[in-house]
Amino acid sequence: MARLLFLGDVMGRPGRRALKAHLPEILAEFSPDLVVANVENAAGGAGISARPLNELKGFAIDVFTSGNHIWDNREAYSLLETEPYLLRPTNYPPGVPGRGVVVHATAGGVKIGVINLQGRVFMREIDCPFRAADRKIETLKDSGVSAILVDFHAEATSEKEALGRYLDGRVTAVIGTHTHVQTADGRVLPGGTAYLSDAGMCGPTGGVIGVKTESVVGRFLNALPFRAEPAEGPVALRGCVVDFDEKTGRSLSIETVDRGDADG
């Protein structure tokens, strides 16, 4: 059996604070073979840059995934070229910087492929995530991976669940990100793929999906643009743990993780 830990969207400095406070105890408790975190909002709540990425590298995270906000900080363009374990969604058009797939070998020698995809419902229309997954799974199987994890960064639960069903039996796990709200639908699908619509957020529990309340409420009241500044106050770490058979790549269980403080 092998185990992976997935950490939901890390939101700015409060997100990094949540990891610092809770990740050590989670690593000690679960001893995962692979740790993956979505870091598209890890720099000040929008994008990723060198300094927060370096800080996150110190937390024993093996692979960093992202999504639509990866482009918000210009430093990401060069980081995507120089950091092999920093991914952007693979279904962007050809010629876009970086890559959306990587293979990580665990300390025990298990090769695990990670695919980062982005949805198209209520989001910018990019290439088809379903067909992109088909192509990348074939390539990964040729490179001899034992398991494949998909981070599906998408808004609509319908699109996420459809991809989970579509890939059931072909990948080890489909974990959703982007909404910042952890869902209660984690289960292993009939073909052996662990599925969770959204892992939730590592970040502030106050605010609106991690952003200062007054900014977001103001946006709904007056429709003006706003800065997505992380909320202050208590923080929590959210994600999930997946156990799988490294010989078959089939999942055995999925469990959500939620550690930290509510906003009261």
Q: Which one of the spans 64-72, 128-136, 231-239, 256-264 is the region binding Fe ion (CB under 5 A)?
A: 64-72
Taking the least distance from each CB to Fe ion, the nearer of 112 and 150 is: 150
Q: Are 242 and 172 in contact (CB under 8 A)?
A: yes
Q: What is the size of the binding site for Fe ion (CB under 5 A)?
A: 4
Min. distance of Cβ 126 from Fe ion in angstroms?
A: 13
178 binds Fe ion (CB under 5 A): yes
* Distances from the Cα of 89 to the Cα of 33, 40, 96, 103, 181, angstroms: 23, 11, 10, 15, 20
Dihedral angle sign, alpha carbons of residues 219, 260, 114, 74: positive
Q: Which residue has the tokens 């992202």?
A: 66
**88 counts as binding Fe ion under rule CB under 5 A:** no
> Least distance from C-beta 65 to Fe ion, angstroms?
11
d(CA 119, CA 107): 32
Of 67, 89, 100, 206, which one interacts with Fe ion (CB under 5 A)?
67
Q: Which of 69, 104, 178, 180 is catalytic?
A: 69
Which residue, 68 or 172, has its beta carbon nearer to Fe ion? 68
Tell me if residue 104 is catalytic: no
Return d(Cα 154, Cα 51) in angstroms, integer. Answer: 26
Please report, as ranges, the residues that interact with Fe ion according to CB under 5 A.
67-69, 178
> Which residues are marked as active site?
69
